[in-house]
Amino acid sequence: MTRRFVARWTGRITRLGFLIAVALLAGRAEISAQTPSASLPGADPALLEDIAVGSRILADFGVLDGFGHVSARSPTNPNHFLMSRSLAPALVTPDDIMEFDLDGNPVDARGRKVFLERFIHAEIYRARPDVMSVVHTHSAGVIPFSVSKVPLRAMYHNPAFLARGVPVWDIRKDFGDTNMLVSNAAIGKSLATALGDKAVVLMRGHGDVAVGPSVKAAVFRAYYTDVDAKLQAQALALGGEPNYLTPGEGEKADKTNLVVIDRIWNLWRMKVLPTLAK
Ligand code: MN
């Protein structure tokens, strides 16, 4: 009798705990995915969340450190783009996202500090109508390829977009001795010209820029560019000429990657979403 009573109540408490856990999880997802942004009224909450998730996951992977940024072209005004106020990528929330024009001017700064290197984004959006997202990193993996004569090549299917070719942009060529930063529109334009129609451009002694048709794609490319660079350095250390992907293989694999990108994005989103919930 007593044992049956205890068993019945244990079962009820377990079920109640489960329901509370489900409700909490659902509430948490709701908070970060659905709440309209206080700083950008009318903006798509899912896009603002993508920028915050992308910034945080790239920081988790060590591709972004205290610097670097993720942006998106505005879906409602192609001559504007969205990026965080000046903030370490690991700390970006949807409420930190601001809107800029293609001259790098904030639409409504309200006293917030902006990134010095926003001209990277502005000039690439101006030059490349197909680009919907830009990621700038100081990825440790790519630095050796930015300063040596060995071209970065596609090692395997995830970084297939590299098989189109990876230009290296040298700020010194047009601007002499600088502080190495893309701090005005002229320098941004020079970088955008070097990127050309490619997915990634390396910046000599600085880092790289990855672009894509969505925030998910640009973040994916920034991450796998870093992974590829580290693997290529390993393959070169083994000796002999590595057997890289051909441009044809790269084009086909890149198409497939973009189709299945939600699988990895949802995993990354799940990892960083708890850090976004208030
Ligand atoms: Mn930089």
Closest CA to 183 of 212, 213, 197, 203: 203
Ligand 1 centre distance from Cα of residue 13 (Å):
53
Ligand 1 centre distance from Cα of residue 69 (Å):
9
Ligand 1 centre distance from Cα of residue 30 (Å):
34
Q: What is the mean pLDDT of residues 40-61?
A: 95
**Confidence label for 15 from pLDDT (cuts 50, 70 and 90):** low
Quick one: pLDDT at residue 277? 81
Quick one: pLDDT at residue 41? 81
Please calculate the CA angle 237-241-246 and round it to the nearest 5 degrees: 120
pLDDT: is 73 or 20 the higher one?
73
Asked if the model's pLDDT at residue 207 lies above 80, the reply is: yes
User: Where would I find the beta strands (DSSP E) of 119-231?
Assistant: 133-137, 168-169, 200-203, 207-212
Q: What tokens does 272 get?
A: 């960083």
Quick one: pLDDT at residue 118? 98
Question: 248: domain range?
Answer: 35-276
Q: Rounded CA gap, 178 and 85, in Å?
A: 24
The single residue listed with the structure tokens 């693997």 is 231
Q: Is residue 71 part of a domain?
A: yes
Asked if the model's pLDDT at residue 31 lies above 70, the reply is: no
Q: Is residue 30 part of a domain?
A: no
**117 is an active site residue:** yes
Q: Is residue 245 part of a domain?
A: yes
Q: Is residue 119 part of a domain?
A: yes
Residues ≥6 apart with Cβ < 8 Å to 182: 117, 119, 120, 171, 188, 191, 203
Ligand 1 centre distance from Cα of residue 205 (Å):
10
Q: Rounded CA gap, 163 and 65, in Å?
A: 27
Ligand 1 centre distance from Cα of residue 256 (Å):
30
Please tell me whether residue 180 adopts helix, strand or coil conformation. Answer: coil
Q: How does 175-208 read in b/e, with b if 16+ C-beta sit within 10 Å? A: eeeeeeebbebebbbbbbebbeebbbbbbbebbb
Q: Rounded CA gap, 111 and 113, in Å?
A: 7
User: Where would I find the beta strands (DSSP E) of the chain?
Assistant: 69-73, 80-84, 97-101, 133-137, 168-169, 200-203, 207-212
Ligand 1 centre distance from Cα of residue 50 (Å):
21
Q: Is residue 172 part of a domain?
A: yes
Query: Residues for the chain: how many in total?
Result: 278
Quick one: pLDDT at residue 7? 63
The predicted-structure confidence for 111-120, as pLDDT tens digits, reads as follows 999 999 999 9
Asked if the model's pLDDT at residue 74 lies above 90, the reply is: yes
Q: 49, 99, 117, 123: which is the annotated catalytic residue?
A: 117
For the chain, the domain total comes to 1
Q: Is residue 110 part of a domain?
A: yes
Amino acid at 71: S
Quick one: pLDDT at residue 42? 83
Ligand 1 centre distance from Cα of residue 231 (Å):
23
CATH code at position 109:
3.40.225.10
Ligand 1 centre distance from Cα of residue 143 (Å):
12
How far does the chain reach from its first CA to its final CA, in angstroms? Answer: 46
Ligand 1 centre distance from Cα of residue 138 (Å):
6
Quick one: pLDDT at residue 14? 62
Q: Is residue 15 part of a domain?
A: no
Residues ≥6 apart with Cβ < 8 Å to 132: 72, 73, 212, 213, 214, 215, 218
Q: What tokens does 199 get?
A: 């997915």
**Confidence label for 168 from pLDDT (cuts 50, 70 and 90):** very high
Q: Is residue 64 part of a domain?
A: yes
The single residue listed with the structure tokens 């051909």 is 246
**Confidence label for 40 from pLDDT (cuts 50, 70 and 90):** confident
Quick one: pLDDT at residue 265? 98
